[in-house]
Amino acid sequence: MTLKSGVGMSNNRNPKDAARQAAEQALARAGTQEPDFVLLFASVGYSQQVVLDEVRAVTGAPVCGCSAEGVIAGTDAQESNFCVAVMALKSDELRVRHGIATELKADPQSAGRSIGQAIAKDMPDNPIALLIFPDGMTMNFDKMAAGIESSLPDGISIPMLGGTASDNLKFERTYQYCDDRVVSDGISWALLHGPTRVTYGVNHGCIPVGVEHTVTRSDGNVIYEIDGRPAVEVLRDYMSQVELDDWMKVVMTLSLGLKAPRQFGADYDQFVIRTLVGGLDAESGSVTVADAVDEGSSVWVTRRDYDKMAEGVERTCNDILTDLDGTPPQLVFHFDCVGRGKSFLREQQKRDLLGNLRERLGDAPWVGFYCYGEISPVCGKNAFHNLTMVLAALY
């Protein structure tokens, strides 16, 4: 299979110039002026429609993507209000079908079902992966994924890989792109199919900082009580009132660890991480996390740890290299949590981790962004993650 792809990046403050520069770099590096498909990630300091329209004008190709707190392109990772990354792809056999769903918050299962039905309508024989970029402020992953999976033909399972759209850490509004459309509260998606394979891995870098607790009252992704106490009071045991009054400090310091499902296996980790993206409600004493939490669930307060993060990156890289078995990847997708970027890592640490990955996996075109949540299967089950890195390689 012949696969041409290239990645470009720009941090020009003018949205039209930035989009053009990144798109032209991507085309030049792909060695084509007529790509079959384009991925686009851009931060929210730009007019999103201007960026999208210019990328479309330069490439003349179908486009899929979303807004981002920062973008990743090759050995470079930029986190600012003004950065854009473009990947251009052309292949004689790899094919891409894409689309967008809306009204994610009101009915996530229906939004997911519309994606599954669009795929099933003309089901390809060899689906590889579903790249998926939901709104990071409105997604309920379990319901969305159930809608997708229930609409596929019996016996068909497609790995979901991607991340949730993000903004500039203000948690106000994110954007999803499909061709000439920019929406919020949606899901942009791209189905890859053809005679190629994908290998992927996910890891988090959090450790528990206290004792085991129990969720005693919850409603979906809102946790009202832990150990019979308002959830905010339990968090107060781990942070001062001054810190609790600074919501971003809470989000960037603490998270919750839930017992990993048994089907994840021993190689993943004992915890899955949930960030406190939805805020604290002082009146009800509740906290809102990124996905549903059942009453009776065991929960630990956790924090990020650089050593564990670095070990996880190394382990994921080793697993992917094992699957590649000496075959160089043709394209790498990289979806990293905003909590693993500049909010936690020094610039040199961030570049060291990325550089180590690039050195070991080679110089394949490499594109991604910093998300509010990451999506990757674990042991065959599509799952939602927080404070993780998802890496996927086509080969």
Q: How far apart are the first and last CA of the chain?
A: 10
Structure token pair of residue 237: 């045991």
> Rounded distance, CA 105 to CA 139, Å?
6
Domain housing 214: 206-304
Q: Is the pLDDT of residue 256 over 90?
A: yes
Cα dihedral 61, 64, 67, 72 in deg (nearest 10): -80
Please, what is the average pLDDT of the chain? 93
pLDDT at res. 343: 87
- Regarding whether 20 and 94 lie in a shared domain, the answer is yes
Cα 336-340-344 angle, rounded to 5 deg: 160
Residues near 332 by beta carbon (within 8 Å), at least 6 away in sequence: 361, 364, 365, 366, 367, 391, 392, 393, 394
Mean pLDDT in residue range 365-388: 95
Mean pLDDT in residue range 214-226: 95
Helix or strand run (H / E) with residue 390: strand 388-394
- Regarding whether 371 and 275 lie in a shared domain, the answer is no
Confidence of residue 215 (pLDDT cuts 50, 70, 90): very high
- Regarding whether 23 and 111 lie in a shared domain, the answer is yes
Mean pLDDT in residue range 98-116: 97
- Regarding whether 213 and 199 lie in a shared domain, the answer is no
- Regarding whether 194 and 339 lie in a shared domain, the answer is yes
> Rounded distance, CA 186 to CA 42, Å?
16
pLDDT at res. 374: 97
Q: Is the pLDDT of residue 241 over 70?
A: no
Domain total in the chain: 2
Alpha helices in the chain (DSSP H): 15-30, 48-59, 108-121, 141-150, 231-236, 241-245, 247-253, 306-324, 347-361
- Regarding whether 147 and 52 lie in a shared domain, the answer is yes
pLDDT at res. 128: 97
Q: Is the pLDDT of residue 319 over 80?
A: yes
Mean pLDDT in residue range 215-232: 95
pLDDT at res. 290: 76
Mean pLDDT in residue range 296-306: 95
Mean pLDDT in residue range 69-82: 95
pLDDT at res. 244: 61
Domain-terminating residue out of 304, 335, 362: 304
Q: Say how far residue 199 (Cα) sits from the centre of its chain.
A: 16
pLDDT at res. 276: 85
Note the pLDDT tens digit of each residue in 163-203.
999 999 988 999 999 999 999 999 999 999 999 999 999 99
> Rounded distance, CA 337 to CA 349, Å?
15
- Regarding whether 342 and 196 lie in a shared domain, the answer is yes
Confidence of residue 46 (pLDDT cuts 50, 70, 90): very high
* DSSP annotation of 106: T
Structure token pair of residue 299: 């929960």
pLDDT, greater one: 267 or 234: 234
Indicate which CATH number applies to the domain containing 227: 2.40.30
* Nearest residue to 344 via CA among 309, 317, 393, 302: 309
Q: Is the pLDDT of residue 242 over 70?
A: no
pLDDT at res. 68: 98
> Rounded distance, CA 44 to CA 19, Å?
13
- Regarding whether 282 and 339 lie in a shared domain, the answer is no
- Regarding whether 159 and 68 lie in a shared domain, the answer is yes
Which contacts (CB < 8 Å, 24+ apart) does range 240-247 have? 244/280, 247/279, 247/280
Mean pLDDT in residue range 56-84: 97
CB 301 within 8 A of CB 289: no
Amino acid, res. 189: W
pLDDT, greater one: 269 or 224: 224
- Regarding whether 338 and 198 lie in a shared domain, the answer is yes
- Regarding whether 194 and 64 lie in a shared domain, the answer is yes
pLDDT, greater one: 244 or 49: 49
pLDDT at res. 247: 66
Q: Is the pLDDT of residue 53 over 80?
A: yes
pLDDT at res. 1: 67
Percent of the chain with pLDDT over 70: 97
* Nearest residue to 59 via CA among 83, 93, 30: 30
C-alpha Rg value of the chain to the nearest Å = 20
pLDDT at res. 277: 77
Mapping DSSP to helix (H, G, I), strand (E, B) and coil, where does residue 99 land?
Answer: strand
pLDDT at res. 249: 72
Domain-terminating residue out of 283, 304, 325: 304
pLDDT at res. 112: 98
Domain-terminating residue out of 304, 332, 355: 304
- Regarding whether 214 and 197 lie in a shared domain, the answer is no
pLDDT at res. 43: 98
